[in-house]
Amino acid sequence: MAKLSDPLHLHLVDDWGLLLPDLHGSPCSHDNHPDGSSEVLHGDHQHRVRYAVYRVHGLPWFRSISWYFLIASNYFFYGESLVDYFGVLVNKTELLHALVTYHRFISFSLYIVGFCWFVLSLVKKYYMRQFFLFAWTHIALLICVTQSYLIIQNVFEGLIWFVIPVSMIICNDIWAYMFGFFFGKTPLIKLSPKKTWEGFIGGGVATIIFGCLAAHFLGRYQFFVCPIQYSEEMEKMILECEPSRLFQLTEYQFPGFLRSICSILGLRKSVYLYPFMWHSISLSMFASIIGPFGGFFASGFKRAFRIKDFGDVIPGHGGILDRFDCQFLMATFVNVYISSFIRAPSPQKLLHEVSASPEKLAIHILKLKPEDQLTLFSSFQGLLMQRGLLPPLP
């Protein structure tokens, strides 16, 4: 059994794909080199990463506790979404109404149960290992579960807020490689020696062009632009709505000197665009300037543990995480961007807030579109009649 000062070997927890140092010092197909480094063998090829399942020998209840915290954290995050996007449906069901009302208390209670369970599972000779793995579990929850929650929130705002940012990262990755392959000469960063300034700039320009074209094409379809919402009349989830101003063609006049040129040439002096295209430029710039730093971070992480890829699911390209290392950063930015510049209060969320903070209701209602105000009034009226506080309509 290895001491804590021994070199750390890297394995993968099969529960959720969490990278963990191997504190057992088990041999597990490692080749030790004279310089003290170690390589993980995959088939007949060295330098290919093979992830053995981390068995956690002798650590009581660790896998069960890890799964428990994963379920409890998902219950908390997705319960918050239930309130935001399905408030009308939730308030019509007594059981769901109670779960929503006490959601955070229930979530905290679940965490306390897991915390006490972990304390009771502590074994004297495994103290250091158990606390180490407990900390890694919480890091995995913070990175993976939180990011997946933000992605789901983006989808509920409209599929376009998920499809276009994901496509931008993929586009930037492809075109940065193409420009770097054919024109790259100037190294960009030491963490990734193959990345060049030519690829970085070329990929950024291509991503902005792609973002504008994709925004103009997808902005015309309700399937992509409408938020996912519950219809009381149809009693199901729908993707139909009156598109917001972001997705309605708007006329933009050319600057004065361009209008003069257009008059001489007999061309139009204005152009019709979806306002969402301007937001797509902001998303494209983040995807091409900041997004790659998610990949640089992953490269540094892999170099720190002397591994080449996070997995081997995709031949020649590593694992799933190797393809999505930039997506997590992008998902967080899109969620922050929507909440800061785009999102308006929804009738479902306002309906839930009536009992929690009535003084905020009037301010929020004024921000709603007229049709949303009518939806809120109808939903609230039906809720009050259901509870017997208003007489039924004749």
| 3-state secondary structure string across the chain | CCCCCCCCEEEEECCCCEEEEECCCCCCCEEECCCCCEEECECCECCCCCCCECCCCCCCCHHHHHHHHHHHHHHHHHHHHHHHHCHHHHCCCHHHHHHHHCHHHHHHHHHHHHHHHHHHHCCHHHHHHHHHHHHHHHHHHHHHHHHHHHHHHHHHCCCHHHHHHHHHHHHHHHHHHHHHHHHCCCEEECCEEEEEHHHHHHHHHHHHHHHHHHHHHHCCCHHHHCCCEEECCCCEEECCCCCCHHHCCEEEECCHHHHHHHHHHCCCCEEEECCHHHHHHHHHHHHHHCHHHHHHHHHHHHHHCCCCCCCCCECCCECHHHHCCCHHHHHHHHHHHHHHHHCCCCHHHHHHHHHHCHHHHHHHHHHCCHHHHHHHHHHHHHHHHHCCCCCCCC
Percent of the chain with pLDDT over 70: 69
- d(C-alpha 284, C-alpha 208), whole Å: 5
Q: What is the pLDDT of residues 195-246, one digit of tens each?
A: 899 999 999 999 999 999 999 999 999 999 998 876 767 767 778 888 888 9
Closest CA to 50 of 321, 299, 313: 313
Give, in order, the Cα–Cα distances in Å from 97 to each of 24, 74, 102, 186, 350.
Answer: 48, 19, 9, 59, 15
Structure tokens at 230: 């519950």
Can you give the pLDDT at residue 117? 94
Q: What is the pLDDT of residues 120-175, one digit of tens each?
A: 999 888 888 889 889 988 988 887 888 888 888 899 889 999 999 999 999 998 99
CB 231 within 8 A of CB 208: no
Closest CA to 239 of 152, 159, 163: 159
Can you give the pLDDT at residue 125? 82
Pairing of strands 192-196, 229-231: unpaired
- d(C-alpha 389, C-alpha 40), whole Å: 68
Can you give the pLDDT at residue 160? 95
Q: What is the pTM of this model?
A: 0.71
Percent of the chain with pLDDT over 90: 29
65-69, 342-346, 349-353: segment of lowest average pLDDT:
349-353
Q: What is the pLDDT of residues 306-334, one digit of tens each?
A: 777 766 666 665 656 666 777 778 989 99
